Amino acid sequence: MTAPQGRGSAESDGISGADGAFRILHVSTGNVCRSPITERLARHALTERLGDMRMGGLLVESAGTWGHEGAPMEENAVAVLLERGADADGFRGRELLDEHVIRADLVLTATRDHRAQVISMGHSAGLRTFTLKEFTRLVRAIDPATLPAPRTAEGVVERAQALVQAAAALRGWLLAPSPEADEIYDPYGAPIPYFRSVGDEISSALDPVVTALTGVPAHT
C-alpha cells in the first residue's frame, strides 16, 4: 500500500470511502497556506516514522473555511515544504464542507476562530476538534503507555482514536496560558521569512502529535 494522498490534493478523491481509516483534517482560512503546510508536513512525518504499510490506516487532508476551491498552494508555502523535504505536488485547495467534518476523526485548526466555525457546523464535532497547538498541549500530558501499540495499520487507527478520546477528556483541565498561545497566524501575502517562521511553528506543534500517534520519536 502506498502512502495516502491528502484530501487537499488532486489525487485524493478516490480514497474517501476507504474502510477503517482514521481521517485527520487540517483547517485554516483559504486552504492555500497554513493548512496545506500542516497537511503535507504531517503526511511526511507520519510516513517517515511508520512507513507506507502502517501509514495506510491514516488519511491526512485539509480544507479552508473560506477555501479557494481548486487553487494551488501559495508559492512560499511550497518553498517551505520543499525545504523540509515534504511533497507539495498535486495540491488543490478546498472549501470546508459538511461532508469533510462528518468524515473526519480528528480536526486540527490553525486558530480558535477556525475551531469555532468547525464546531458550529454540528455533526458532533466538538469532541474531535482542536486547534493544533491546543491538541499538542493536551497530547503532551497523555501517558503513551496507556495507548494501543501501533504495530499494524489497524493498531495505528486504534491508537489515534484513543489519543483523541484522551485529549478530549483533558481539555477542561489543561488550559492555554493565553488565548494567543493556541493561534497560528496567517502568512498569506507575507515574504518567505515569515512563511518559514510559520513552518517552524507548525512543525514544532506537529512533532509531539506525530510521536503520540506513531509511538516513534523524531529522528535526531
Reference 52, options 87, 4, 3, 11; nearest CA is 3
Q: What is the mean pLDDT of each run of 10 residues along the chain (220 residues)?
A: 36 43 96 98 94 77 94 97 96 96 97 97 94 97 94 91 96 85 96 98 97 84
The CA distance from 98 to 155, in Å, is: 28
Whole-Å CA distances, 199 to 31, 109, 174? 15, 15, 25
pLDDT of res. 105: 97
pLDDT of 9:
39
Q: What is the pLDDT of residue 72?
A: 96
How much is the pLDDT for 12? 37
This prediction has a pTM of 0.89
pLDDT given for residue 218 in this prediction? 79
Closest to 130 in 3D by CA, of 141, 140, 119: 119
Q: d(Cα 139, Cα 137) in Å, to the nearest integer?
A: 6
pLDDT of amino acid 174: 81
